[in-house]
């Protein structure tokens, strides 16, 4: 009878994992550039900044006519407005040569570029042509029917972050901004060796006392799901020399080596005998208090993990996910863990159209007091790339339902099996400094979700418990300070940094040179040929802009053209889509001039119920980290002492 030696030391799971990790360098294995068509399923190794606006120009959403919205005021079926129809007609891929002035209109196809001077589209079905004039039978508001340049993605914006898994949504974003080469982490090569006289490969004829090798297939596919490259090295019979030779080759060629079977210390368990001979440091744990999975053996040699998994498939896959999967994820660049469908609670009342099944994209956030997930509707329209890429999943609204009330429980289908709920949800104002902080967290494994809806919306979301923190920069109505007036017992204010807002315009534009703020305000009010790019309602910058025109009946040309970020404002001015705008100093390029308006405080509002959340604490630690503070200062922000 073969002697069965007992394990020298059975330890608990946490101790085994700590020993294992302490013997390894759990860092990504390097960066490589791959063609976009081969990037699916890879982990992004660097932040990706868009070098283009998406769309890159103001474009029409409909077949119709580009007009000035004020010329349609009061138009009805019975009393249409008459406009002079310009000769030029704008198809797709055509740059308009003519400007739309008051009293005129220009034909534009769906996707066509909006001519200068126009601020709305009248759909073709609401018009007729009579003797060369356009008869408009419906009033439209400024901005109707137009997708503005940079309304989806703005030049300079971080569209994907280091550590993101590239699903079809992310590769679509990369294609939309023109990227053909993608920096990704090298995939770890995982060698898989099956051992035992009784093991035969699938496809062979079954014989008495033999077992098909299911472990190799299970492990190989699990490795693929985790972002690794499985190298199935075959079955080794119970021959010590053969196994030793194959193991040496596997250690040389692979980043991780898995052996299936032979973890016990019996005379016939050759896997243990071969691995026992490894050094540097060799076996770090053999025998863990698990059921199933007690016999697992964890070793490290040449900074590479070598793991003997139990032979029984259930034990093998259980211990693989407990001990090996976290290591592969780290080597692959923090590949996430996935789910397919989750129950959630609607955050707000949602309306739908009777008679049509609707798929509504949502982001998922956690309730502060329990494990309930809140589904936060994400709108921007069917043409938006970023809404799709930033959403966690979607809900399906049946064609017989018109309303889903806030608080309704509803299943959320995740967008692919490889998506996870964010660790940190940030809603509020956009800022370059906030981008830097979130990218820093992502590099340490903290996934974030950023919804830039403005300071006011961020505070409201924080008060409702829909986010972990909100970026804000709102001046007290009395003009005595920033952000303190937003607080109540449910909110806490964390001081961020100071930044300067100002007017941007292109270098060499003599209309602005040498003028003060009041002179510029008077200029843009009285000169309709000077176009501005505004900010979205609810943002702190929009409130500042409105204060500049406080009490004035007239508004500058382009006032209705809203941009979602400071980068978008700078890009619109730099590329001539607008002549001026208001943004922070940090986005000023060499081709732009900057006239300061005001220094402001950009701070963070945190629900008190989430103050002790791990990801919030890590965010605050990053805010106070000396190296991060140096980077913030380099971007032009003035830091508070701490």
SS3 per-residue string spanning 430-478 = CCHHHHHHHHHHHHCCCCEEEEECCHHHHHHHHHCCCCCEEEECCECCC
Percentage of the chain exceeding pLDDT 70: 92
Q: Does pLDDT of 528 surpass 80?
A: yes
Per-residue pLDDT band for 203 (boundaries 50, 70, 90) equals confident
The residue with greater pLDDT, 550 or 382, is 550
Decide: 140 and 121 in contact? Cβ < 8 Å. Answer: yes
Residue 572 is predicted with a pLDDT of 86
Determine phi and psi for 456, rounding to 5 degrees. Answer: -60, -50
Q: How far is CA 120 from CA 83, 137, 190, 578, in A?
A: 14, 14, 57, 16
Per-residue pLDDT band for 291 (boundaries 50, 70, 90) equals low
Residue 350 is predicted with a pLDDT of 84
DSSP-assigned letter for residue 132: T
Least confident of 353-362, 495-504, 632-641: 353-362
Residue 401 is predicted with a pLDDT of 80
Structure token digits, residue 472: 């804000």
Mean pLDDT of 367-382: 68
DSSP-assigned letter for residue 592: E
Q: What is the CATH number of domain 429-642?
A: 3.40.190.290
Q: Per-residue DSSP letters for 469-520?
A: BEEE--B-TTSS-BSGGG--TTEEEEEEEEEEEEEEEETT-TTTTT--HHHH
The residue with greater pLDDT, 377 or 353, is 377
Residue 175 is predicted with a pLDDT of 92
Closest CA to 467 of 425, 438, 423, 434: 425
Distance CA 546, CA 531 (A): 16
Distance CA 271, CA 280 (A): 18
pLDDT tens figures, 599-636: 888 999 999 988 999 999 999 999 999 999 999 998 88
Q: Does pLDDT of 240 surpass 70?
A: yes
Decide: 374 and 366 in contact? Cβ < 8 Å. Answer: yes
Residue 127 is predicted with a pLDDT of 96
Residue 5 is predicted with a pLDDT of 43
The residue with greater pLDDT, 332 or 396, is 332
Determine phi and psi for 449, rounding to 5 degrees. Answer: -125, 125
Residue 363 is predicted with a pLDDT of 80
Q: Kindly report the CA angle at 450 between 449 and 453, in degrees rounded to 5?
A: 140
Mean pLDDT of the chain: 86
Mean pLDDT of 37-49: 92
pLDDT tens figures, 543-583: 888 888 887 888 899 888 888 788 888 888 988 888 999 99
pLDDT tens figures, 8-23: 577 778 888 899 999 9
SS3 584: strand
Q: Where are the domains of the chain?
A: 4-27+187-331, 39-54+152-183, 59-147, 341-414, 429-642
Q: Does pLDDT of 7 surpass 50?
A: no
Mean pLDDT of 48-58: 87
- Domain 341-414: give its CATH superfamily: MoeA, C-terminal, domain IV (2.40.340.10)
Residue 383 is predicted with a pLDDT of 41
Residue 635 is predicted with a pLDDT of 84
Structure token digits, residue 52: 């283009």
Closest CA to 66 of 143, 150, 152: 143
Q: What is the CATH number of domain 4-27+187-331?
A: 3.40.980.10
Based on its alpha-carbon atoms, the radius of gyration of the chain, rounded to whole angstroms, reads: 30
Residue 374 host element (H or E)? strand 373-377
Closest CA to 45 of 175, 186, 179: 186
pLDDT tens figures, 448-471: 988 777 888 889 889 988 889 999
Mean pLDDT of 341-358: 76
Question: Phi-psi region for residue 430, left (φ > 0), alpha (ψ -120 to 50) or beta?
Answer: beta
Multiple choice CATH, 39-54+152-183, 3.20.20.70, 3.40.50.300, 3.90.105.10, 3.30.200.20: 3.90.105.10
| Residue 238, burial from CB neighbour count under 10 angstroms (0-12, 13-18, 19+) | middle
Distance CA 46, CA 7 (A): 45
**Strands of 26-132, DSSP E:** 31-35, 48-49, 59-60, 64-67, 81-90, 104-108, 120-123, 127-130
Look at the domain 59-147 and name its fold.
Answer: Molybdopterin biosynthesis moeA protein; domain 3 (2.170.190)
Distance CA 566, CA 594 (A): 13
Residue 207 is predicted with a pLDDT of 81
Per-residue pLDDT band for 382 (boundaries 50, 70, 90) equals very low
pLDDT tens figures, 474-513: 888 776 788 898 899 999 999 999 888 899 999 999 999 8
pLDDT tens figures, 129-175: 998 899 999 999 999 999 888 877 888 888 899 988 898 889 998 99
The residue with greater pLDDT, 40 or 213, is 40
Decide: 100 and 44 in contact? Cβ < 8 Å. Answer: no
Residue 417 is predicted with a pLDDT of 55
Residue 338 is predicted with a pLDDT of 55
């Amino acid at each position: 009878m073969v002697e069965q030696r007992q394990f020298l030391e059975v330890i608990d799971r946490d101790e085994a994992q700590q020993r294992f990790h302490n013997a390894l360098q759990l860092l990504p294995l390097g960066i490589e550039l791959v063609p976009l068509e081969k990037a699916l399923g890879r982990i992004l190794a660097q932040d990706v900044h868009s070098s283009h606006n998406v769309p890159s120009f103001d474009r029409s959403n409909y077949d119709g006519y580009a007009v000035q919205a004020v010329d349609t005021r009061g138009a009805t079926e019975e009393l249409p407005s008459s406009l002079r129809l310009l000769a030029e007609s704008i198809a797709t891929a055509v740059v308009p040569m003519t400007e739309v002035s008051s009293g005129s209109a220009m034909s534009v196809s769906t996707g066509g570029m909006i001519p200068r001077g126009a601020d709305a589209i009248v759909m073709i079905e609401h018009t007729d042509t009579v003797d060369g004039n356009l008869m408009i039978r419906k009033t439209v508001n400024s901005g109707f029917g137009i997708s503005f340049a940079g309304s989806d993605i703005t030049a300079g914006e971080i569209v994907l972050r280091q550590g993101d898994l590239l699903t079809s949504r992310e590769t679509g974003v990369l294609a939309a901004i023109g990227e053909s080469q993608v920096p990704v982490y090298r995939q770890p090569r995982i060698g898989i060796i099956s051992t035992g006289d009784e093991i035969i490969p699938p496809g062979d004829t079954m014989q008495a006392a033999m077992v098909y090798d299911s472990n190799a297939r299970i492990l190989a596919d699990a490795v693929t799901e985790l972002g690794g490259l499985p190298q199935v090295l075959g079955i080794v019979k119970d021959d010590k020399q053969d196994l030793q030779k194959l193991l040496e080759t596997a250690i040389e060629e692979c980043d991780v080596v898995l052996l299936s079977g032979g973890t016990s210390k019996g005379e016939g368990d050759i896997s243990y005998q071969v691995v026992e001979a490894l050094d540097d440091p060799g076996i770090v744990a053999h025998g863990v208090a698990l059921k199933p999975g007690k016999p697992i053996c964890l070793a490290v040699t040449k900074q590479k993990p070598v793991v003997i998994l139990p032979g029984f498939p259930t034990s093998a896959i259980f211990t693989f996910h407990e001990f090996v999967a976290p290591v592969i994820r780290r080597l692959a660049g923090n590949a996430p863990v996935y789910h397919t469908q989750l129950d959630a609670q609607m955050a707000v009342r949602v309306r739908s159209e009777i008679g049509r099944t609707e798929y509504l994209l949502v982001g998922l956030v956690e309730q502060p007091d329990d494990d309930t997930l809140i589904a936060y509707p994400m709108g921007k329209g069917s043409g938006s790339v970023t809404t799709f890429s930033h959403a966690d999943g979607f809900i399906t609204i049946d064609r017989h339902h018109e309303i889903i009330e806030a608080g309704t429980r509803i299943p959320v289908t995740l967008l692919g099996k490889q998506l996870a709920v964010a660790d940190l949800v940030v809603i509020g104002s956009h800022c370059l400094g906030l981008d830097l902080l979130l990218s820093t967290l992502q590099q340490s494994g903290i996934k974030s979700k950023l919804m830039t809806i403005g300071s006011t919306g961020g505070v409201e979301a924080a008060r409702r418990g829909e986010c972990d923190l909100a970026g804000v920069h709102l001046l007290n109505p009395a003009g005595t300070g920033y952000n303190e007036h937003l607080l109540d017992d449910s909110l806490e204010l964390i001081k961020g940094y100071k930044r300067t807002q100002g007017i941007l315009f292109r270098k060499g534009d003599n209309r602005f040179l040498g003028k003060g703020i009041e002179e510029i305000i008077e200029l843009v009010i009285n000169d309709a040929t000077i176009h501005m790019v505004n900010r979205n309602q609810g943002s702190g910058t929009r409130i500042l802009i409105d204060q500049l025109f406080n009490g004035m009946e007239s508004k500058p040309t382009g006032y209705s053209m809203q941009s979602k970020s400071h980068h978008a404002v700078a890009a619109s001015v730099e590329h001539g889509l607008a002549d001026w705008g208001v943004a922070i100093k940090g986005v000023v390029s060499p081709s732009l001039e900057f006239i300061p308006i005001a220094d402001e405080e950009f701070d963070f509002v945190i629900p008190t119920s989430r103050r002790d959340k791990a990801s919030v604490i890590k965010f605050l630690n990053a805010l106070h980290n000396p190296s991060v503070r140096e980077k913030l200062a380099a971007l032009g922000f003035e830091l508070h002492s701490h």
